[in-house]
Amino acid sequence: MNPSEAPATVPPPRKSRRIPGWAVGALGVAGAVVLLSTTSYLTGVPQLTSTGTIQTAVRLALPILLAALGGLWAERAGVVNIGLEGMMIMGTWGAAWAGYQWGPWAALVSAAVFGALGGLLHAIATVTFGVNHIVSGVAINLLGAGLTKYLSTLIFFPLSNNPRESPAVPKFDTYSASGLSDWLGELEAQQRVGLSDVAGILRGLVTGVSPLTMLAILLVIGSYLVLWRTRFGLRLRSCGENPVAAESLGVNVYLYKYVAVISSGALAGIGGAALVLNPGQPGYLEGQTNGRGFIGLAAMIFGNWRPGGLLGGAALFGYADGLQLRSGGKTFLALVYGAVLLLVVIVIWQLIRRRWFAAAFGILAAGLLYAVYYSVDEVPSELTTYAPHLVTLVVLAVASQRLRMPAADGVVYRRG
Amino acid sequence: MGILRGKLLPPVLAILFSALLCGIALVVSDANPLQAFGVMFAQVGEGTTAVDIINSTGTYYIAALAVAIGFQMNLFNIGVEGQYRVAAVVAAVVGGSIALPPGLHALVIILTAAVAGALWAAIPAILKVTRGVNEVISTIMMNGLALGLAAYLIGADVFGELRGNNIRTPEIPESGWVPGIPLGSSGTVFGLVFLAALLGIGYWVMMNRTRFGFELRASGESSTAAAAGGVNAKKMVLIAMLLSGGIAGLVSMPEILGRDHTYNLNFPAGIGFSGIAIALLGRNHPGGIAFGALLWAFLDKSGLALDNVGVPREIVTIMQGAIVLSVVVAYEVVRRFELAAQQRQVGRQLGTVDAA
């Protein structure tokens, strides 16, 4: 071997992490709140941190969060799951079908089962038959969309007189921490800088909470505990890092991959149920997922294949979505201003670290965004809808080299 | 014989399997599968269906070629969907706002579309070679952005105009149209269907008779071997992506220049994803893709007749999905089977395995 190439094959010893993950998360949340309240103060747009915006954001973040969690399970076991979108579509149909007959809990279970069926199909194709993961995922997206269209025409059409829509599905009752919520509401109404913003955000999080939200949070925590704190999780992740080594230690790689991909489908299906059971929606609607499975995948990559990170990604996308849905392009422009502020902070940080090129790039981007903010009155609604897509691209462009995916992710494994 | 078996058997098996699957689905939902399939075949002779199938085949063929160029080097351009949409809007806007002599006008529109598609594909390509961003995610995101951009550009206060319930770009003047072949009551074949055929020939020549095509295939077969042979991987990604995007930009040209003369809200969606499926079915081979595109167009257009016999025509979409999934599985199974057979043969020749 050429000696000069040797270092490339041996990874340099990793620097020990100085800050634990939970602290990074807490810092991130604090930073986001400070950024939002500063932006809200400087632009005079209180909706940025209003209860209503946060509530909408939570509702819209749920499907993305669940899809991202589904992606996490599959990819930690080494199977890339582009088919999340298709599994989510199947979940929406399953939720509506069971939901209008037997209520929201049945909807949830049925959605999970339908999603899991999609997952099973993906597992059969990728694990047993060794088909390329992306190819199988694309096929499942086609199949999921086709199957639900067919079934809707067959089953929903006679009931709702519309082949693209299900009958109305009953929703979950929501719960509020009533005393706390009222107190926070008073605080928010006082419009004090900073304090009212925090109150608004907190109130949005504790008012009108659906059991689905609690379930999703529990699933995130549960996924973390199962994947990182149990023997089962270690084995599952070993299949995503080095399946050959795992097999040699007696791990049944195929079985673990099957379990992971089926769970992944079930989670994506529940994500679909979250769309159907959203109080703003009557029930199943064709094209309802609108690429949220893909966004979930992006949120997972954004979160560096970690549960905490994907929670942050889902929150970001849900927030951007909720803001534009709730208050339109004018408020959205305030977010552009917020992005400028964030970039200024980043530029200062890069200047301190003497990274001139990155700083210059940051200044350029900030200037460009500020010019946009200054010159237009309102971001056209056609464009704000796709803000999560743009954010994903920017984040990937900036951060993709710091991200670390499971080592054998997307690699077809065959038992020797 | 062996080659033929490896190449033809999987798609045939996949189509039969999918037809069987859909047949079962039809029986379960109280329909007669034989009648349904019979109606679909009979529909080809009705009205303009045959011509519609030909036109649609051309469109699908271009989309699948665009995808196939990327697939040849394991580059997944999921973004054909967005590329053809952006290209269509830009070309329609440009075509509607310039005045040129006939012929030249159409040529400018077509080139504009190709360039617009290539530029849209350039963003994920540049992100991939400079920042290492996976093209699958970035092209999916570009698809979303393309929808937004197209909706914005045809807005009434940007480039679009309101016509009844529809919003559309200004109509392209007649000098920019490409005449078709009128076949009387059975419709008009788009003139640009021949563009699809030309692209197919060009694709074959490029892949099999040029250095670039060889390097592209080499990169797909083994990226390390290609790199050792002096192929610049980054350059290949960039060129392949730009070519793919450029061809994707042409997808909607037959329809826009041959019939619609404008981009409006009824613009067809999903051709890019069908293109992926067709490229897989045809194994990136120009002939195979042509067959796949024809099959897809047949299923699409003949499926419309299913509503007449009380069968939801969406069964066709299930069939398409089932074909894709089963064809990739079938290729894999046949590949493994042949590999095993080859190993046994080598073993026999070397005398290490008994010829039992």
DSSP single-letter state for residue A130:
-
The one-letter amino acid at A159? L
pTM of the predicted model as reported, rounded to 2 decimal places: 0.89
Q: What is the pLDDT of residue A329?
A: 67
User: Angle CA(A31)–CA(A33)–CA(A36) in degrees, nearest 5?
Assistant: 105
CA–CA distance, A113 with A126 (Å, rounded to integer)? 20
Q: Is B328 on the interface with A (CB under 8 A)?
A: yes
Contacts of residue B65, defined as CB under 8 A and 6 or more positions apart, other chains included, come to B196, B199, B200, B203, B247, B279, B286, B289
Taking the alpha carbons at both ends of chain A, their separation in whole angstroms is 27
Comparing A391-400, B59-68, B195-204, the range with the smallest average pLDDT is A391-400
Report helix, strand or coil for A347.
helix
pLDDT at site A80: 93
Q: Does the structure show a pLDDT above 50 at A3?
A: no
A240 or A401: which leads in pLDDT: A240
Which residue, among A62, A12, A123, has the nearest Cα to A322 in the 3D structure?
A: A62
The proportion of chain B whose per-residue pLDDT surpasses 70, expressed as a percent, equals 97
- CB–CB of A98/A106 below 8 Å? yes
Q: Is the pLDDT of residue A71 over 50?
A: yes
CA distance A37 to B160: 38
- Whether B321 sits inside 8 A of A294 (CB atoms) is no
A229 phi, psi to nearest 5 deg: -125, 5
Inform me whether the C-beta atom of residue A298 falls under 8 Å from chain B C-beta atoms. Answer: yes
Region A101-128: what's the mean pLDDT?
95
Tell me whether strands B188-189 and B166-168 are parallel, antiparallel or unpaired: unpaired
CA dihedral B115, B120, B121, B125 (to 10 degrees): 120
CA pair distance A257, B79, nearest whole angstrom: 28
Q: Is A28 on the interface with B (CB under 8 A)?
A: no
Closest CB from A145, A382, A397 relative to B131: A397
pLDDT given at position B40: 87
Question: CB B277 to CB A142 under 8 A?
Answer: yes
If one compares B304 and A264, the residue with the highest pLDDT of the two is A264
DSSP codes of every residue in B141-196: HHHHHHHHHHHHHTSTTTT-EEETTEEEPPPPPGGG----EE-GGG-EE-TTHHHH
* CB half-sphere exposure, B209, CA atoms < 13 A: 6
Give A163's contacts in chain B (Cβ within 8 Å). Answer: 312
One-letter identity of residue A84: L
- What's the CA dihedral at A127, A128, A134, A140 to 10 degrees? -110
B91 touches B253 (CB < 8 A): yes
Q: Mean pLDDT of all residues in chain A?
A: 85
Residue with token string 């989670």: A267
Cβ count near B81 (within 10 Å): 26
Query: How far is A164 from A293, CA to CA, in rounded Å?
Result: 20
- Reading phi first (left if > 0) and then psi (alpha if -120 to 50, else beta), residue B155 is in beta
Strand partners, A209: A175
Mean local confidence (pLDDT), A248-257: 94
A139 and B142 within 8 Å at the Cβ level: the answer is no
Using 50, 70 and 90 to split pLDDT, how confident is the model at A6?
very low
Phi, psi of A285 (to 5 degrees): -140, 135
Beta bridge partners of B168: B161, B264
Model confidence at A15, pLDDT cuts 50, 70, 90, reads: low
State how far residue A106 is from chain B, nearest Cα, in angstroms: 24
Task: Please give the Cα distance from B197 to B181 (Å, whole number).
Answer: 15
The token pair at B67 is 């995808």
| Cβ–Cβ pairs < 8 A, chains A and B | 134
Query: Which two three-digit tokens encode residue A93?
Result: 């149909």
Mean pLDDT of A370-386: 78
Question: Is pLDDT at B3 greater than 70 in this prediction?
Answer: no
B-chain residues near A390 (CB < 8 A): 141, 145
pLDDT classification of A4: cutoffs 50, 70, 90: very low
Q: What is the mean pLDDT of residues A211-229?
A: 94
Look at residue A41 in the predicted model and tell me its pLDDT.
Answer: 80
CB-based contacts of A164, cutoff 8 Å, min separation 6: A152, A285, A286, A287
A117 in contact with B, Cβ within 8 Å = no
Chain A interface disruption, residue of B77, B314, B334, most A CBs within 10 A: B314
CA distance linking residue A266 with residue A316, whole number of Å: 23
Q: What is the mean pLDDT of residues B106-124?
A: 95
Q: What is the pLDDT of residue A22?
A: 80
pLDDT surpassing 80 at residue A327: no
Of B330, B278, B283, B327, the closest CA to residue B300 belongs to B278
Q: Do B137 and A125 touch (CB under 8 A)?
A: no
Is there a contact between A154 and B137 if contact means CB atoms under 8 Å apart? no
Burial of A162: CB neighbours in 10 Å, binned 0-12, 13-18, 19+ = middle
- Indicate the burial class of A251 (C-beta count within 10 angstroms; 0-12, 13-18, 19 or more): middle
The whole-number pLDDT of residue B292 equals 93
Three-state SS at B1: coil
CA distance to partner chain B, nearest, from residue A226 (Å): 27
